[in-house]
Homo-oligomer: A and B are copies of this chain.
């Protein structure tokens, strides 16, 4: 059986059933497990299927909002600790900005102050905030499909009307030289401005973000306090440039 032929079969079955086990494919195509594994690795690399333990599944573009949910799984315990600590920084009467993103989202369930106002560009965040009866403001603007975050110049303009006591920002990279970075330039500029508009800015990031550099710079390290979960390698070097809070429990 030709490689291409197998690929077609795999995709066809997936379109019918949504999920297949490796064993099924082995029997069906009369080939070895190794071969099927190779097929699946390939098909995953070209974004045709999603591999799961024991088989493969169809990539679901829109139904389940997987990109958002799945992201949340990684390092969830660390994120949770960081979020918990950050939420304690919120004081009664504060006006704060919550950046869209999973770690800041986790914060919401730990916030116990009542008399506060929260501005955010995360639609998910709004749901959670409203459920906790917290005064919530959403930035207006274009909604980014994948992450359900509001971005763009409209959001930026909206943001500039506010002044915050504290802002809590997510990031993809933290680097001694290149500062805070993120892959999306529209998000970057929003984060940058939120930091500028705050009396105190906090960047929430688990250890995996250190040493990483993404496409667009948000700001230099010294503009925000980093809250993370572990003393990374170059801890001392980072400490020379900015403040870091390491949350152990």
Q: Which residue of B lies closest to A148 (CB)?
A: B130
* A21 beta carbon closer than 8 Å to chain B: yes
Chain A contact residues: helix, strand, loop or mixed = mixed
> Distance in Å from the Cβ of A57 to the closest Cβ of chain B?
5
Which residues on the B side are within 8 Å of A4 (C-beta)?
19, 52, 57
CA–CA, A3 and B145, complex, Å: 27
> Per-residue CB proximity of A170-181 to B under 8 Å, as 1/0?
000000000000
Interface residues of A in 1-41 (CB under 8 A from B): 2-5, 8, 18-19, 21
Contacts known (A2-B55, A52-B3); A139 close to B140, Cβ less than 8 A: yes
* A127 beta carbon closer than 8 Å to chain B: yes
Which residues on the B side are within 8 Å of A21 (C-beta)?
2
Which residues on the B side are within 8 Å of A8 (C-beta)?
18-19
CA–CA, A158 and B154, complex, Å: 8
A62 partner, pick from B48, B70, B131, beta carbons under 8 A: B131
> Distance in Å from the Cβ of A79 to the closest Cβ of chain B?
11
Range class of the A interface residue count: 35 or more
Q: Are A150 and B138 neighbours in the complex by a CB distance under 8 Å?
A: yes
CA–CA, A52 and B3, complex, Å: 8
> Per-residue CB proximity of A195-230 to B under 8 Å, as 1/0?
000000000000000000000000000000000000
* A231 beta carbon closer than 8 Å to chain B: no
Which residues on the B side are within 8 Å of A249 (C-beta)?
none
> Per-residue CB proximity of A136-179 to B under 8 Å, as 1/0?
11111111010010100011001001000000000000000000
CA–CA, A161 and B140, complex, Å: 11
CA–CA, A46 and B65, complex, Å: 12
| Minimum-distance CB pairs A-B, first 8 | A140-B140, A140-B158, A136-B143, A4-B52, A2-B54, A139-B140, A130-B145, A62-B131
Cβ contacts A to B, 25 pairs, < 8 Å: A2-B21, A2-B53, A2-B54, A2-B55, A3-B52, A4-B57, A46-B69, A47-B72, A61-B131, A62-B131, A62-B132, A123-B123, A126-B143, A126-B148, A130-B145, A130-B148, A135-B142, A136-B142, A136-B143, A137-B142, A137-B143, A138-B138, A140-B140, A140-B150, A158-B158
